[in-house]
Amino acid sequence: MLQSKVMETWVGVFVALGLLGLFFLSMQVSNLGALKFDDKSYTVTARFSNIGSLKVRAPVSMSGVRVGRVSAIRFDRETFEAVVEMKIEPYFNTIPSDTSASILTQGLLGEQYIGLTPGAMGDPLTDGDKIEMTQSAMILEQLISRFLFSKAEEGANNQHAEPASAPAAHSAEKPRAPVVLKKAVAAPVKAGAAPVAPRETRKNGQH
């Protein structure tokens, strides 16, 4: 009896440790583990017409290296755009001011993040600056609907083009002249004259 209770206790401990490990793993996957930002990090904003499924604490990367995270997302009621605030770590304080921002996806159906493409101007981004050049998220459903619509439009154009080309093929053929068959008229034979044998018979008689 005592041994069975000890076994149940150990099983409960292992189950609790497993649940705790799954909790921390889910925190890391959903970026909930990095709740704190460096006090010296600076904030930049960017506007997008569509942010897709971008969430707060999503990574901000440049050349595949994480340089910050999304700190806040709000909606502008005047321009009907999404305003995204990004906290950039203080180490990356030389990012050019004409840098562009795009919302990208990790893999085909992975989480979305912001990718920065550096510009050529020498002045770096500072706290409170705005990134003017942005590219919104690509929505998979919109891409599929555009593809299907273009295919349907091509099929409709082909159906309209086929009847128009048929008369042109018939008009290109020239009408043929009717063939007139002429009857052979025999030459009249004079009275008392010997019948004239055909040429072929006469030639055969000579040979």
Judge whether 181 lies within some domain: no
Three-state DSSP state, 198: coil
Domains identified in the chain, total number: 2
Same domain, 133 and 40: yes
Domain limits for position 80: 35-141
Per-residue pLDDT of the chain (207 residues; tens, 9 = 90+): 667 777 878 888 888 888 888 876 666 555 555 445 667 899 999 999 999 889 999 999 999 999 999 999 999 999 999 999 999 999 999 999 999 999 998 876 678 999 999 988 778 999 999 999 999 987 766 667 777 877 777 777 777 765 555 454 444 455 566 555 555 555 555 555 555 555 544 444 444
Judge whether 102 lies within some domain: yes
Same domain, 53 and 116: yes
87 CB contacts (<8 Å, ≥6 apart)? 37, 38, 41, 42, 43, 60, 68, 69, 70, 71
Judge whether 128 lies within some domain: yes
pTM above threshold 0.85: no
Same domain, 23 and 77: no
Same domain, 26 and 83: no
